[in-house]
Amino acid sequence: MDVIYSLIPGMMFFGVLFVIVLVWAVKKGQYEDMEGSANRILLDDDDELLRDPDQAKNESADKK
């Protein structure tokens, strides 16, 4: 029973800490554009090849 008296305040502390971190993250805009970063990862490599097709041909020729 003595353990419960120490666990309850400890869990309340972590609960309040979690809420504070969540509010901070929302205010800083961490959850604003969740799909943009995921799409940017998939599209970054192709953009460089489309900008300069001659360079892409030279790089593919160098690899052979």
- Residues making up the chain, counted from first to last: 64
Largest CA distance in the chain: 75
Q: Which two tokens stand for residue 45?
A: 């490599």
Residue ranges in the chain whose pLDDT is less than 70: 44-64
Supply the pLDDT for residue 12. 98
